[in-house]
Amino acid sequence: MFVGHYAASLALKKYEKTASLGILFLAVQFVDIVFFPLVLLGVERLNVVENFTDATHFELIYMPYTHSLVASLAWAALAYALFRWVVVKSRRVAIVVAIAVASHWVLDLLVHTPDLPLWSDASPKLGLGLWNYAAATYVLEAALLLAGLWWYLRATRPTGAIGKWGMTAFVVVLLMINVVNLFGPLQGDSKVMLAATALLSYFLFAAVAFWLDTKRS
Ligand SMILES: [Zn+2]
């Protein structure tokens, strides 16, 4: 899952308004932000395979350190500890950031083919396989993201024109990007390209979300 993960970021803002939306945008993609560098280092593995599913051009082979259920929970626990005792030092912020990190696995479960291990690579692997239906994946991610937006807009107030329309416009852009992501052809068959595009998107989207969030109170 790609843009649908941000539904969790937007919704969690309602539960702790002092949490940075930029941090929450990074937190929901945290395991992917670790995954792609590990792929480039050869620690975790994916293969670029054109039309591997209806919605993707890659096969996820080996990712126990980022995308197993146990690893996800461990990363969430680490995020909790970091925000509880090192930065920000708020219990409520630590809780929402940890939930954001853990939400990645839960939402990935809906769309991935069975490639998400429970603990190690030898453990059972789960995935409900919605990626086999690109249109259904699109509708699910769009519905999640719009629900998150609605939740966020109800929880915060604009402080000007950018605050009033900015986040809605950003969500529309994300929904357009996801058309290319889910229905577009394979763009260059290298892992480096895939990793670079993903990581650049994650940090760019987090920066935009952070900035737009400063326009609402
Ligand atoms: Zn992922």
User: Quick one: pLDDT at residue 123?
Assistant: 95
Give the distance (Å) from ligand 1 centre to CA of residue 161: 34
Joined tokens for residue 40: 């480039």
Domain that holds residue 22: 3-213
Amino acid symbol at 67: H
Q: Give the pLDDT of residue 112.
A: 97
Beta bridge partners of 20: none
Rg (CA), the chain: 17
What's the 153 CA to ligand 1 centre distance in angstroms?
Answer: 26
Q: Cα(46) to centroid of ligand 1, in Å?
A: 12
Cα(105) to centroid(ligand 1), Å: 7
Q: Which pLDDT value is given to residue 107? A: 98
**pLDDT (0 to 100) of residue 45:** 97
State in Å: Cα 26 to ligand 1 middle: 12
Q: Which residues of 71-99 are buried (b: 16+ CB within 10 A; e: fewer)?
A: bbeebbeebbeebbeeebeeeebbbbbbb
Determine the Cα–Cα distance for residues 189 and 157; give it in Å rounded to an integer: 44
pLDDT for the residue numbered 92:
97
Structurally, the chain folds into a number of domains equal to 1
pTM of the prediction?
A: 0.96
Distance 158 CA to ligand 1 centre (A): 32
| Whole-number pLDDT of residue 217 | 87
pLDDT of residue 187: 84
Pair 105, 153: CB distance under 8 Å: no
Both structure tokens of 75: 């990363």
Evaluate whether 159 touches 217 at the Cβ level (below 8 Å).
Answer: yes
Give me the residues of the chain with pLDDT under 70, please.
Answer: none
